[in-house]
Amino acid sequence: MKKLKVNQLGPWCGFCEPKTNRATHVGYGFNGFACEEHKPELKADEQKDDGYMSEGDYQSWDRL
Ligand SMILES: [Zn+2]
């Protein structure tokens, strides 16, 4: 997770109600955006992705 520049008008927080809060942080690999309040959720998402295949990954493997 890294902090977005303050003067950068960023995307919306992915955890708040749509279009309520601008994101202040972005996940590694741009997997999501979070406001100050939702940093823990974004971090949890990052860790969840580590070493695990998502549902979509499994489905694409099935098609091979
Ligand atoms: Zn938020």
* pLDDT value of position 59: 62
- C-alpha dihedral, 28 to 33 to 38 to 42, nearest 10°: -30
User: What are 26-43's pLDDT values in tens digits?
Assistant: 998 777 999 999 999 999
Cα 63 to ligand 1 centroid, rounded to whole Å: 36
What mean pLDDT is predicted for residues 43-54? 71
Residues with CB under 5 A from ligand 1 (ion): 13, 15-16, 21, 35, 37-38
Q: Check: pTM over 0.75? Answer yes or no.
A: no
* pLDDT value of position 56: 61
State the Cα–Cα distance between residues 24 and 17, nearest whole angstrom.
15
CA distances from 41 to 22, 27, 61 (A): 15, 10, 28
Q: Where are the alpha helices (DSSP H) in 1-64?
A: 39-49, 55-63
Q: Taking all residues of the chain, what is their mean pLDDT, rounded to a whole number?
A: 81
Identify the band that residue 63 occupies on the pLDDT scale cut at 50, 70 and 90.
low
